[in-house]
A and B are shown apart, each in its own frame.
Chain A
């Protein structure tokens, strides 16, 4: 018996030593750090900075409008709203770490939809500026969408001559600006923590990034497509095509496109300036080329399905009259889940659960 053990130990040692002398075959390793650095420096921080500056522009435009309420200035406010809303889509895949705010995250604070328009109406009329409660569906982009677009421009201008309403809108913007800027600053200070945690454990940076991007993808699939299209059933809620993002301004399809692109960019490690750095695709290089190519193909299928949608139409009309092209997009987005979630998790040993359960 003793001999057996000695022999087996010698065997093990000889394996190890032969590894050094021969040319050992390297497994394609997962180099996490370059991905973290690229996504932090070229996606997360610039995208938050962008959102911060577009929100500031929105505030300036609104101040101009209140000083001088006319069509030109309203156009400018509406234009800046769209710009800010688009930049928001590009931080949506990063709702983790510094984006968390107690039990909620930045997305709850600035983009809860559909809005509770009845409450917005009441609060705007009363000039109720108490924003401390959890009625996030009376604030954020959804409230702007309603207050700036629910009637024609002339009527909006006249509505906003009311001081209470004007104050409410102003407060919505300043609140958004404040939470966005806080989040931005927190992210900037988070670099060391984020980049140095280059492991693959359940709470590591790459795992959080992976799960947050999947969550963003699921949000698009379920809340921007499946539920409003009536292609997803839930136990309690009633299907309503009006439950879409940016329902009043009619930018739903545009924002949908941007949010799909944001998920793809995060997977690719591609900045808004289209510079493609290290991303999840690079982690799959050599390790799992099939999955990499399948995912790339699926992103392109999604793009093609999006191009089938008559973009000059309002999304609500499309849902009511002919939702086939939107349903096609929903199917393609759904098909991507297995690539960017389950197969990617398997290939890179990422964990799809945050909670730490014991395994076998």
Chain B
């Protein structure tokens, strides 16, 4: 096969980078989960909330009881730690996959691109023999392998590459390049930052940051792939993520991303890094190939999905940042400043009178903030209000909403005609024709 000369996915390479990645990822996820628990976010986000926004297509997923939610988090914490030390990896990778993704699916208003990244990694871990060395598993089974097929590492590099490169593609738009938006709005709020704060007062800084950010996202993977530029590129990654981590509230993710990028370093680098954990007394075995075509087809599908799914916004006719059709799962990270204000009005079918509701009676601050400008959440909330206020002998049939959304700091505009009865609209894949387009 000619293809194999260019790229042979089964070429054996050192397992060390994979093992490092497993260790780093497991540790980072354990820290992240622990932080989540310590900050009381389980209670605030999943237990004290009355309404939960479902992911499209996942309406059937039952909302777990309070105890089950705690159990999910404990399972997540334990499986992260198990992945970290490489203990019973083949079980815990499944538990990690299930617990993390179940938690993510509980409420779409907490969606973050970085959580989506973790979800994708949780899928890849299912296919990757990351625990065959430098792990408790290899110690207990008294066997280790030193070499793995290169696709197991390359698929992770591909995934990391997608995150940065597509985040770069998302920045290729008029606002980012020619208006330095939203950084022009965000930077002046950071003027108290040591050293750099002074520069944030100038327009040029916003443009500089926008362009450098764009260049960084698009190119960093390629600089990491080349041995010559790798060290400098990694230094840039550290600076970039420290800076964004300091300036914006993005939690542990700068840490996860910058440590994951170590994967691009050579096998020798990782072998040295893991030297302390190497147990030379354990016999080395060869990697056993099972020509599992299902596995390869799935991985091919996975790659195609990753390459194409972020572009699904293209067929939709309206401004993507405005209607958010195809906005999630496409690495559009920090490219838009958006706020909204939504007033919901319910018609009493008996009296015909229309009354407003208090959003915070039903939603927490975060949910309310997210709901106020995301069309699918607005629709879901309207439908949930319909249910809540309907009584056996008085079924609500009309819920309207007056939603003003401000995009990139511009004066707010109506997201859709407030006369529309939201009870009559269903959320689908089709273009949301009930929304105003805002193609300016």
B188 engages A235 (CB within 8 Å): no
Q: How many residues in B have their beta carbons less than 8 Å from beta carbons of A?
A: 68
Once A202-B249, A222-B358, A359-B248 are accepted as A-B contacts, the answer to whether A233 and B188 lie under 8 Å apart by CB is no
- Report chain B residues within 8 Å CB of A359: 112, 248-250, 334
| Residue A347, interface by CB 8 Å | yes
Whole-angstrom CA separation of A288 from B199 in the bound complex: 21
Q: Give residues 189-212 of B contacting A (CB, 8 Å).
A: 189-192, 199-206, 208, 212
B358 engages A346 (CB within 8 Å): no
Once A1-B229, A19-B204, A29-B201 are accepted as A-B contacts, the answer to whether A346 and B406 lie under 8 Å apart by CB is yes
Tell me the minimal C-beta distance from A220 to chain B in angstroms: 13
A1 engages B228 (CB within 8 Å): yes
B192 engages A198 (CB within 8 Å): yes
**What are 13 A-to-B residue pairs whose CB atoms are below 8 Å?**
A25-B204, A26-B201, A230-B353, A232-B358, A233-B346, A233-B357, A338-B406, A338-B412, A341-B341, A342-B406, A343-B411, A346-B337, A359-B249
B340 engages A342 (CB within 8 Å): yes
- Report chain A residues within 8 Å CB of B204: 15, 19, 24-25
- Report chain B residues within 8 Å CB of A288: 409
| Residue A352, interface by CB 8 Å | yes
Tell me the minimal C-beta distance from A103 to chain B in angstroms: 14
Tell me the minimal C-beta distance from A332 to chain B in angstroms: 13
User: Of the candidates B44, B202, B228, B357, which one forms a contact with A355 in the assembled complex, judged by CB atoms under 8 Å apart?
Assistant: B44
Whole-angstrom CA separation of A294 from B406 in the bound complex: 14
Once A342-B340, A357-B110 are accepted as A-B contacts, the answer to whether A231 and B188 lie under 8 Å apart by CB is no
User: Of the candidates B191, B337, B364, which one forms a contact with A30 in the assembled complex, judged by CB atoms under 8 Å apart?
Assistant: B191
A1 engages B249 (CB within 8 Å): no
Whole-angstrom CA separation of A360 from B215 in the bound complex: 19
B339 engages A345 (CB within 8 Å): yes
| Residue A27, interface by CB 8 Å | yes
Q: Give residues 229-277 of B contacting A (CB, 8 Å).
A: 229, 232-233, 248-253
Q: Give residues 9-45 of A contacting B (CB, 8 Å).
A: 12, 15-16, 19, 24-30
B201 engages A342 (CB within 8 Å): no
Tell me the minimal C-beta distance from A280 to chain B in angstroms: 14
Q: Give residues 285-304 of A contacting B (CB, 8 Å).
A: 287-288, 290-291, 294
Once A226-B356, A230-B355, A343-B406 are accepted as A-B contacts, the answer to whether A25 and B189 lie under 8 Å apart by CB is no
- Report chain A residues within 8 Å CB of B253: 358
Binary A-proximity of B346-369 (CB < 8 A = 1, otherwise 0): 101000010111100100111001
B248 engages A342 (CB within 8 Å): no
A342 engages B341 (CB within 8 Å): yes
- Report chain A residues within 8 Å CB of B39: 356
| Residue A66, interface by CB 8 Å | no
A348 engages B357 (CB within 8 Å): no
Query: Which residue in chain B gives the minimum CB-CB distance to A236?
Result: B361
Whole-angstrom CA separation of A4 from B218 in the bound complex: 14
Q: Give residues 102-117 of A contacting B (CB, 8 Å).
A: none
B356 engages A233 (CB within 8 Å): yes
Tell me the minimal C-beta distance from A279 to chain B in angstroms: 17
Tell me the minimal C-beta distance from A192 to chain B in angstroms: 16
Once A25-B203, A347-B409, A348-B189 are accepted as A-B contacts, the answer to whether A233 and B340 lie under 8 Å apart by CB is no
A360 engages B334 (CB within 8 Å): yes
Whole-angstrom CA separation of A30 from B186 in the bound complex: 11
B412 engages A334 (CB within 8 Å): no
Tell me the minimal C-beta distance from A29 to chain B in angstroms: 5
| Residue B80, interface by CB 8 Å | no
A27 engages B206 (CB within 8 Å): yes
- In the complex, given contacts A358-B114, A359-B250, what are 13 additional A-B residue pairs having Cβ atoms less than 8 angstroms apart? A24-B202, A27-B206, A30-B188, A200-B189, A226-B358, A230-B353, A342-B340, A349-B337, A355-B365, A357-B249, A357-B366, A359-B248, A360-B250
Q: Give residues 230-258 of A contacting B (CB, 8 Å).
A: 230-235
| Residue A354, interface by CB 8 Å | yes
| Residue A337, interface by CB 8 Å | yes
A5 engages B229 (CB within 8 Å): yes
B223 engages A12 (CB within 8 Å): no
- Report chain B residues within 8 Å CB of A19: 199, 202, 204-205
Whole-angstrom CA separation of A235 from B338 in the bound complex: 30
A291 engages B188 (CB within 8 Å): no
A5 engages B189 (CB within 8 Å): no
| Residue B333, interface by CB 8 Å | yes
| Residue B187, interface by CB 8 Å | yes
Query: Which residue in chain B gives the minimum CB-CB distance to A229?
Result: B355
| Residue A70, interface by CB 8 Å | no
Tell me the minimal C-beta distance from B357 to chain A in angstroms: 6
| Residue B11, interface by CB 8 Å | no
B188 engages A29 (CB within 8 Å): yes
B389 engages A235 (CB within 8 Å): yes
| Residue B381, interface by CB 8 Å | no
B187 engages A352 (CB within 8 Å): no
- Report chain A residues within 8 Å CB of B284: none
A26 engages B203 (CB within 8 Å): yes
- Report chain B residues within 8 Å CB of A287: 188
- Which 5 A-B pairs rank lowest in CB-CB distance, beginning with the nearest? A358-B251, A349-B189, A338-B341, A353-B365, A342-B339
User: Of the candidates A5, A199, A233, A294, which one forms a contact with B389 in the assembled complex, judged by CB atoms under 8 Å apart?
Assistant: A233
- Report chain B residues within 8 Å CB of A338: 341, 404, 406, 412
